[in-house]
């Protein structure tokens, strides 16, 4: 998991995460990683439209976004 988070931060690519917050609420979010910290991820959350801190322990799954490219015909 750390590898994909670090690569996304370096390449400024978006990711999808499955996240459980401190209250046990599970969400799927699209994020852009700003900084990888020891126990947290600082990321722009497209769901909340702001920079948020995510606990590494709360990230259940992480995968690249399927960014579709427009094709002009």
| Residue pLDDT, tens place only, 18-54 | 999 999 999 999 999 999 999 999 999 999 999 999 9
pLDDT value, residue 65:
86
Residue 66: phi and psi, rounded to 5, are -90, 85
Domains and CATH numbers, the chain: 2-62 (2.30.30.100)
Calculate the alpha carbon distances from 21 to 17, 34, 54, 71 in Å: 12, 19, 8, 38
Whether the predicted pLDDT of 10 surpasses 80: yes
């Amino acid at each position: 998991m750390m590898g994909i988070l670090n690569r996304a931060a370096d390449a400024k690519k978006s990711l999808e995460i499955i996240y459980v917050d401190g209250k046990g609420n599970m969400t799927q979010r699209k994020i852009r990683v700003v900084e990888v910290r020891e126990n947290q991820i600082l990321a722009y959350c497209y769901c909340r439209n702001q920079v948020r801190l995510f606990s590494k322990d709360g990230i259940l799954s992480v995968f690249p976004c399927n960014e579709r490219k427009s094709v002009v015909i």
